[in-house]
Amino acid sequence: MVFATDGSTRANQVDPDAVIAAIFRQEATSLVRLARLFVDDRDAAEDLVQEAFLRLRHSLDRLERQDRVVPYLRSIVLNLARDHNRRGLVSLRHRPRLQSDAELDMGAPSPDSDMILEEDQREVIEALRDLPRRQRDCVTLRYYLELPIAEIATTLELSQNSVKTHLQRGLAALERRLEATR
């Protein structure tokens, strides 16, 4: 594995463990949050992210460009989360509500505001889960991780125009679904 700061390859070898450690410090929290959107269980999400880093470590020497490592890692997390749900380890339809990081850190909000917020969040998450896979992935990466279009395209190995199309269709479908429930 040879990385240069401009994303190209160069002659000097890079320590793969140092690369993994740096990426872990930078990306682990956002990857766990991403996985939680799909599996809700924090422990399972952390396990999926750990597995993603292990898989990345095994395939790191095949990646030629440093700028492809994080998008590749995100795609591993998305695929592991899908596989986790496919195996039936967690039901997509009947699982406990997603507890926000703020609730985990600061305690639960008041019961009234919690009920309203919980219902709104549940409706949005259910509507998001009903989207076709590519639309769901694009919407999640754009509005939850706040990734730019180019990085989403790299992560999902799509063209930027495809990402824009999936975002537009996904948001329209979410809007229709949420309006129907009101």
Task: Give the domain-ending residue among 57, 91, 125.
Answer: 91
Whether the Cβ atoms of residue 153 and residue 164 lie closer than 8 Å to each other: no
SS3 state at 12:
coil
> Which residues contact residue 129 at a Cβ distance below 8 angstroms, ignoring those fewer than 6 apart?
92, 136
User: What span, in angstroms and rounded, lies between the C-alpha atoms of 168 and 80?
Assistant: 26
Q: How many domains does the chain have?
A: 2
82 shares a domain with 20: yes
Model pLDDT for residues 111-142, shown as the tens digit of each residue: 554 455 567 777 888 888 889 999 999 999 99
Q: Please, which pLDDT band fits residue 93 given cuts at 50, 70 and 90?
A: very low
pLDDT in tens, 167-182: 999 999 999 988 887 7
Q: Which residue has the tokens 């395209």?
A: 153
In a domain, 76, yes or no: yes
- For residue 169, the enclosing domain spans 109-182
Same domain, 69 and 155: no
Q: What is the pLDDT of residue 180?
A: 85
How far the first Cα of the chain sits from its last, in Å, is: 53
| Token digits of residue 162 | 């495809």
Q: Identify whether residues 62 and 125 lie together within a single domain.
A: no
Query: pLDDT tens for residues 6-42?
Result: 554 444 567 888 989 999 999 999 999 999 888 878 8
Boundary (domain end) residue, out of 56, 91, 126: 91
Residue 102 located in a structural domain: no
Q: What is the pLDDT of residue 42?
A: 87
